[in-house]
């Protein structure tokens, strides 16, 4: 039987003939008077804390109030996790809503919220205020406001999700605030994932446009997991109706907490009250406080109200005796909470996603929802991507021995002579047979290197390898020589004293994070002055995660050390990359990391992109209007270790002939700043040498971004009127209406007042990019098994380009090549009937049951949305979409994967964020 193939997007749309979908809701918001008092309590508590630690910041204890509200009222259509009390916006404006409820019982809901607020303000909040001497008079003021019914405001509204653009009876609340939560409530209690039982709705959400349902915890591969379906309401460019995206993930549950130096002070957990509320789950947090883990103030509320087993608060929550009455679990998070007895891995295979999507579709079809079908496959312009992969150990060994003149010697003794260590230090078994003939990857990389300006850049031909040991130096020199050529010099030096190690072994061990950070920076500055590191040197630092202490314990590197090194070295113009040391006998792990680190240091930190010239030639040929430059505009936002946010607008320009890049920035100081263009590594120095922030108000941010667009477009056009510009609209669309889905409907895209894109820069090619596309799978029908009486199918993912219908501007979804492929069509938790291996004997059955793969990592290829906002008359939409897709390959990730999430002119901007975290 001929295999039949179809592509499926895990997204739902509203059928045109469906009746209107309407939600009648009341929106709940705090009054301004209440927020003003709560803000003063929070601010005074923070100021008291800063008397001891200048970096301290305190949040109100709202977790207990949130838990009470979730339990008092079961009908929440949507509820924000912070219930509007984490941050306090401009109080001169009307506060935004933090919860939505069906309007039929508005009066009853009002009494419930006021009662819960009274208990909280007189209990947890009062204790918080008195314990910190923070505006204690505010508790009485809140009591009076509650007695006068001035704590909350209710606003009634009729929200119509479909059809769109229909005026409500009163109010104008967006359907994005409530629809995801409402759909989750409809799926709760239904079985989405076959054999795993009904899903529960997670009450509340950190994002108003998202909601989750998930299975109860299940056991596999020595651990516990739940499968999750995330629901979100999305839009397409200029479309007149929303689309519902369903995304799936595997959430693993921990059995131990890091009690020494966790990477994060907070980890999330969930309460599943199977008996008391079988269709709901509730979030709580476990936090690190004074060298101990404690559950948040919401957990005791759940414990009492849901009849949980007593005595399992704080760190003991991981020992909760999960049974048919209730389960309490904590998420796995690297270096925070581990599943030490489990072999479970992350990710959900496509077959499990597809079956859950089909179940959700059946459950929601009665509301007018159906699978989204408005897309079709397009064959992109052919372009052979760079043949990049991991260097094989036999190739590296051959080059190592050749460098030392041992090509004809016994391999084991030659390795020992070259590295001054026995071969079993590097390889558990016999070392691989040297094979220099099969170095296709080396030749491919060297060919791509010659296409860039790297070899001509004399200022970046020296790598300083700084390590606590010289063990790995020969492997570093060999790999650098193979990849970058013999002109690149590797200089080895020991790590400077007092720069890396556990806090207890370094100066200022009892100081604040800022004090320890500054102390490490001073040590690095001494090192730079002593050995005379040149301005644009490449620094490869090898530092372990854990160190032996005087008492024989292993303790982790202080978490300020890497930040301080990057700050000190990049402020002098150096670029910095970290590399973990090799493990005895595990060169199979070390060599891929080493290759990725060398490539990232030489190219990623310099903004070089491979294959740009080849992609241009494939898509534009020799036409006179072929672009000579590929450019990008985006924004960066990072939170440092002490919660001091930095943000900046960024533009890059890359020369197609060489892949070399330049960068410029826009931010606010005493006035708005738009920097000149500079080399990419100079841009890293620029960010490391100053604190960058955007203007405080949205109006000023919009003005700065508009002027930055106009000034950047002018500069680019002066170099190349036919350039291609990629714009990441994920964060910029809220500040530039012409980039939003509604703004796309207007052909006259006004960049600045009175300046229109098509009039001022008519030849510029402009593409909008965002990581907002549904998951897409490919289903293959292989035939019918008479023995098993069922149709045989499998699910897989391949590199694809899709054109989307019903949009105001040409729109494509770019699907990358999958990074891993285990058995195609296998499940992570159940046996599946699949076609037998092609290597099986002729006497074997055509189909066989394939066991579950819970211990395999199942990574799903992410699709990226590409929207063509402006093109030249002779351009085809497929031509520009193909160019964008080809540019998703051209940088190796830390996993040595050649595909990245966005076109590389945008992707390299993310590399700069490493230099802002200082």
> What is the spatial distance between Cα 715 and Cα 699, in angstroms, rounded to a whole number?
24
pLDDT at residue 3 is higher than 50: yes
Mean pLDDT along residues 41-70: 89
> In sequence order, which residues have a C-beta less than 8 Å from that of residue 650 and are 6 or more positions away?
633, 634, 635, 636, 663, 664, 665, 909, 912
Can you give the length of the chain in residues? 918
How sure is the predictor about 171, in pLDDT bands with cuts at 50, 70 and 90?
very low
Question: Which residue is it, tokens 């064959």?
Answer: 379
For residue 812, CA distances in Å to 38, 273, 722, 904 come to 47, 43, 21, 17
Q: What is the pLDDT of residues 312-348, one digit of tens each?
A: 999 999 999 999 999 999 999 988 999 988 999 999 9
SS3 210: strand
Residue 170 has pLDDT above 60, yes or no: no
Which range has the worst mean pLDDT, 355-359, 732-736, 785-789?
785-789
Whether the predicted pLDDT of 228 surpasses 90: yes
Q: Does residue 386 carry a pLDDT above 60?
A: no
pLDDT at 774 over 90: yes
Q: How would DSSP label each residue in 438-495? A: --HHHHHHHHHHHTSSTTT-GGG-EEEEEES-STTHHHHHHHHHHHH-TTSEEEEEEP
830-881 confidence digits (pLDDT tens):
998 888 765 554 445 677 888 999 998 887 788 999 999 999 999 999 999 9
Domain with CATH 3.30.420 in the chain: 626-771+865-915
Structure tokens at 335: 């270096």
Q: What is the pLDDT of residue 616?
A: 93
Query: Of the ranges 156-170, 519-533, 800-814, 900-914, which one carries the lowest mean pLDDT score?
Result: 156-170
pLDDT at 138 over 50: yes
Range 550-560 average pLDDT: 82
Antiparallel, parallel or unpaired: β 200-202 and 280-289: parallel
Give the distance from CA 70 to its chain's centroid.
29
Confidence of residue 168 (pLDDT cuts 50, 70, 90): very low
User: Is the CB of residue 706 less than 8 Å from the CB of residue 738?
Assistant: no
Residue 355 to residue 760: CA distance in whole angstroms: 50
pTM of the complete model: 0.91
Q: Counting Cβ atoms within 10 Å, is residue 629 exposed (0-12), middle (13-18) or buried (19+)?
A: buried
CA distance 209 to 15: 21
Architecture of domain 626-771+865-915: 2-Layer Sandwich (3.30)
Q: How confident is the model at residue 167 (pLDDT cuts 50, 70, 90)?
A: very low
- Residue 625 — very low, low, confident or very high, per pLDDT cuts 50/70/90? very high
pLDDT at 369: 95
pLDDT by residue (tens digit) across 672-692? 999 999 999 999 999 998 889
pLDDT average, residue stretch 757-769:
97
| Residue range 267-289: mean pLDDT, rounded | 95
- Could you count the other beta carbons within 10 Å of the beta carbon of residue 103? 18
551 vs 295, which has greater pLDDT? 295
Report the mean per-residue pLDDT for the chain: 89
C-alpha 389/C-alpha 386 separation (Å) is 9
In b/e form, how buried is each residue of 633-660, taking b as 16+ CB within 10 angstroms?
A: bbbbebebeeeeebbbbbbbbbbbebbb
What does DSSP assign to residue 86? S
Instruction: Work out the average pLDDT over 73-86.
Output: 91
**Euclidean distance between CA atoms 577 and 597, whole angstroms:** 7
pLDDT higher than threshold 60 for residue 12: yes
Is residue 865 within 8 A of residue 874, CB to CB? The reply is: no
What is the predicted pLDDT for the residue at 169?
A: 38
DSSP letter string over 265-285? SEEEEEEE-TTT-TTEEEEEE
Q: What is residue 820's predicted lDDT score, i.e. its pLDDT? A: 62
Whether residue 705 has pLDDT greater than 70: yes
**What is the rounded average pLDDT of the residues 359-366?**
96
Chain centroid to CA 680: 23
Beta bridge partners of 813: 802, 865
At residue 294, the pLDDT reads 96
> What b/e sequence results for 865-879 when a residue is b if at least 16 CB atoms lie within 10 Å of its CB, and e otherwise?
bbbbbbbbeebebbb
Residue 89 has pLDDT above 50, yes or no: yes
Answer yes or no: are the C-beta atoms of 83 and 207 closer than 8 Å.
no
């Amino acid at each position: 039987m001929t295999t039949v193939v179809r592509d499926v997007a895990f997204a739902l749309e509203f059928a045109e003939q469906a009746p209107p979908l309407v939600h009648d809701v009341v929106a709940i918001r705090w009054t301004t008077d209440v927020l003003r008092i709560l803000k003063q309590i929070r601010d005074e508590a923070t100021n008291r804390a800063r008397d001891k630690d200048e970096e301290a910041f305190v949040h109100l204890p709202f977790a207990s109030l949130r838990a009470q509200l979730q339990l008092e009222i079961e009908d929440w259509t949507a509820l924000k996790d912070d219930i509007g009390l984490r941050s306090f916006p401009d109080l001169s404006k009307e506060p935004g809503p933090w919860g939505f409820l069906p309007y039929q019982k508005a009066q009853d809901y009002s009494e419930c919220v006021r009662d819960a607020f009274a208990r909280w303000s007189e209990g947890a909040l009062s204790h918080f205020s008195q314990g910190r001497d923070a505006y204690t008079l505010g508790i009485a003021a809140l009591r009076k406001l509650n007695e006068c019914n001035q704590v909350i405001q209710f606003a009634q509204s009729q929200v119509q999700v479909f059809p769109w653009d229909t005026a409500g009876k009163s109010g104008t609340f967006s359907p994005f605030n409530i629809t995801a939560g409402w759909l989750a409530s409809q799926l709760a209690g239904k079985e989405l994932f076959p054999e795993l039982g009904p899903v529960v709705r997670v009450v509340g959400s950190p994002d108003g446009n998202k909601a989750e349902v998930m299975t109860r915890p299940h056991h596999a591969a020595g651990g516990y997991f739940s499968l999750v379906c995330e629901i979100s309401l999305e839009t397409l460019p200029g479309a007149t109706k929303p689309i519902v995206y369903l995304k799936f993930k595997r959430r693993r549950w921990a059995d131990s907490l890091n009690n020494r130096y966790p990477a994060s002070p907070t980890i999330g957990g969930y309460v599943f009250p199977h008996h008391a509320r079988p269709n709901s789950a509730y979030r709580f947090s476990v936090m690190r406080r004074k060298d101990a883990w404690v559950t948040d103030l919401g957990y005791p509320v759940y414990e009492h109200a849901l009849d949980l087993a007593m005595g399992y608060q704080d760190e003991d929550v991981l020992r909760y005796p999960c049974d048919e009455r209730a389960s309490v679990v904590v998420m796995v998070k690297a270096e925070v909470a581990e599943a030490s007895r489990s072999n479970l891995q992350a990710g959900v295979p496509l077959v499990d996603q597809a079956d859950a999507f089909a179940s959700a579709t059946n459950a929601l079809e009665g509301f007018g929802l159906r699978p989204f079908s408005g897309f079709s496959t397009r064959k992109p312009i052919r372009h052979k991507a760079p043949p990049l992969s991991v260097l094989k150990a036999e190739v590296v060994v051959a080059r190592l021995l050749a460098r030392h003149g041992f090509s004809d010697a016994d391999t084991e003794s030659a390795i020992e002579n070259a590295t001054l260590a026995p071969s079993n230090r590097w390889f558990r078994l016999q070392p691989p047979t040297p094979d220099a003939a099969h170095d296709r990857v080396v030749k491919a990389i060297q060919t791509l290197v010659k296409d860039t300006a790297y070899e001509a850049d004399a200022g970046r031909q020296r790598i300083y390898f700084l390590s606590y040991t010289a063990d790995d130096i020969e492997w570093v020199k060999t790999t650098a020589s193979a990849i970058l050529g013999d002109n690149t010099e590797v200089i080895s030096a020991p790590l400077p004293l007092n720069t890396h190690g556990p806090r207890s072994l370094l100066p200022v061990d009892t100081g604040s994070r800022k004090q320890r950070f500054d102390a490490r920076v001073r040590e690095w500055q001494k090192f730079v002055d002593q050995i005379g590191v040149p301005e644009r040197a490449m620094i490869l630092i090898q530092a372990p995660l854990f160190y032996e202490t005087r008492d024989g314990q292993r303790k982790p590197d202080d978490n300020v050390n890497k930040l301080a090194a990057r700050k000190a070295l990049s402020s002098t113009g150096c670029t910095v990359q970290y590399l973990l040391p090799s493990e005895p006998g595990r060169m199979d792990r070390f060599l891929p990391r080493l290759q990725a680190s060398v490539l990232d240091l030489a190219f990623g930190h310099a903004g070089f992109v491979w294959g740009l010239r080849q992609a241009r030639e494939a898509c534009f040929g020799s036409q006179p209007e072929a672009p000579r430059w590929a450019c990008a505009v985006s924004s960066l936002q990072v939170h440092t270790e002490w919660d001091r946010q930095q943000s900046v607008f960024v533009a890059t320009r890359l020369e197609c002939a060489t892949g070399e890049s330049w960068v410029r920035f826009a931010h606010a100081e005493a006035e708005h700043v738009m920097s000149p263009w500079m080399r990419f590594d100079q841009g890293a120095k620029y960010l490391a040498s100053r604190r960058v922030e955007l203007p405080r108000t949205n109006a000023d941010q919009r003005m700065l971004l508009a002027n930055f667009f106009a000034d950047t477009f002018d500069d680019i056009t002066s170099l190349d009127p036919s350039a291609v510009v990629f714009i990441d609209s994920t964060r910029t669309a809220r500040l530039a209406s012409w980039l939003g889905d509604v703004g796309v409907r207007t052909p006259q895209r006004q960049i600045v007042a009175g300046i229109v894109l098509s009039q001022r820069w008519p030849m510029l090619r402009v593409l909008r990019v965002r990581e907002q596309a549904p998951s897409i799978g490919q289903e293959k029908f292989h035939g019918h098994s008479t023995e098993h009486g069922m149709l045989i199918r499998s699910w897989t993912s391949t590199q694809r380009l899709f054109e989307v219908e019903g949009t105001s501007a040409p729109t494509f979804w770019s699907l990358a090549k999958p990074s891993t492929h285990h058995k195609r069509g296998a499940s992570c938790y159940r046996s599946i009937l699949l076609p037998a291996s092609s290597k099986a004997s002729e006497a074997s059955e055509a189909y066989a049951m394939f066991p579950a793969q819970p211990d395999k990592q199942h990574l799903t290829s992410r699709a990226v949305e590409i929207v063509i906002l402006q093109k030249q008359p002779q351009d085809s939409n497929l031509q520009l979409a193909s160019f964008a897709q080809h540019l998703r390959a051209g940088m190796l990730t830390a996993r040595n994967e050649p595909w990245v999430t966005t076109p590389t002119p945008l992707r390299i901007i993310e590399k700069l964020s490493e230099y802002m975290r200082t």
